[in-house]
């Protein structure tokens, strides 16, 4: 089970040779009387130690692997969110989320950066995306321009029953954010056509 592709994986010196170490025989508490730690704890600890991979080898059960895989996905998501948060610029579409008085007076952490982004525009902006056909673009799907330039990434995607088609949201370079702009989504190594769509995808038609 691939852990986190750490930048500095754990290296062990054996017979004078440096090798990247991975634990290939680990049992969780699903192996009665032998394993003690929960699968989630094993994955987290492996990442803390810088292991490039870990093998959950419980006896007569795959329950530990399933839970370890779920924990790994959550761990990766948390790291991705931290990375995005540390590099993300302010999306102009979220301007109204900051009260006008706060925008004018400032005085809070990050104000100078936010003010600069609101005045000069953001490098990337969140948009709605409608894939063509039945393909569903999940989180972390890469977005390309029709010329093949990588321009963004999908943050969430699923099938929208209200519009009877796949829908997604993601961040793209601002110049590619116009409605109906043609895009390409890379799903399982293949590129599929999509278009920038207006948000929300569906507006309620009933009155309370």
Q: Which of 68-77, 107-116, 125-134, 193-202 has the lowest mean pLDDT?
A: 107-116
**What does residue 150 show for φ and ψ, rounded to 5 degrees?**
-75, 120
Instruction: Annotate 151-180 with b (16+ C-beta within 10 A) or e (fewer).
Output: bbbbbebeeeeeeebbbbbbbbbbebbeee
Encode pLDDT of 51-93 as tens digits.
778 888 898 888 888 998 888 888 777 666 555 554 455 555 5
Res. 203 pLDDT band, cuts 50 70 90: confident
Contact 182, 195 (CB under 8 A): yes
| 117-129 pLDDT per residue, tens | 777 767 888 899 9
Quickly list H helices, 50-192: 63-87, 100-105, 111-120
Q: Name the nearest CA neighbour of 68 among 98, 88, 45.
A: 45
CA distance 56 to 59: 10
Strand segments, DSSP code E, in 117-181 are 124-131, 142-145, 150-160, 165-173
Rg of the chain over Cα atoms, rounded to whole angstroms, equals 22
Q: What are phi and psi of 5, to 5 degrees?
A: 45, 55
Give this prediction's pTM.
Answer: 0.55
**Cis bond leading into 200, ω under 30°?**
yes
In the chain, what are the domains?
A: 11-86 (no CATH), 88-122 (no CATH), 123-203 (2.40.30.110)
Contact 27, 66 (CB under 8 A): no
């Amino acid at each position: 089970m691939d852990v986190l592709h750490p930048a500095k994986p754990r290296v062990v010196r054996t017979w004078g040779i440096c090798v990247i170490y991975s634990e290939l025989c680990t049992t969780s508490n699903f192996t009665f009387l032998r394993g003690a730690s929960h699968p989630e704890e094993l994955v987290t600890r492996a990442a803390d130690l810088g292991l490039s991979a870990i093998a959950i080898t419980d006896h007569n059960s795959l329950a530990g692997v399933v839970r370890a895989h779920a924990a790994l996905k959550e761990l990766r998501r948390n790291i991705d969110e931290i990375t995005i948060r540390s590099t993300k610029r302010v999306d102009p579409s979220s301007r109204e989320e900051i009260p006008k008085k706060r925008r004018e007076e400032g005085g809070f952490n990050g104000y100078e950066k936010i003010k600069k982004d609101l005045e000069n525009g953001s490098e990337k902006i969140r948009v709605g995306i409608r894939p063509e056909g039945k393909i569903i673009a999940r989180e972390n799907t890469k977005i390309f321009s029709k010329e093949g330039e990588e321009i963004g990434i999908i943050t969430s995607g699923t099938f929208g029953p209200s519009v009877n088609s796949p829908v997604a949201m993601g961040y793209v370079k601002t110049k590619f954010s116009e409605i109906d702009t043609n895009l390409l989504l890379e799903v399982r190594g293949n590129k599929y056509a999509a278009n920038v769509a207006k948000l929300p995808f569906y507006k309620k038609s009933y009155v309370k």
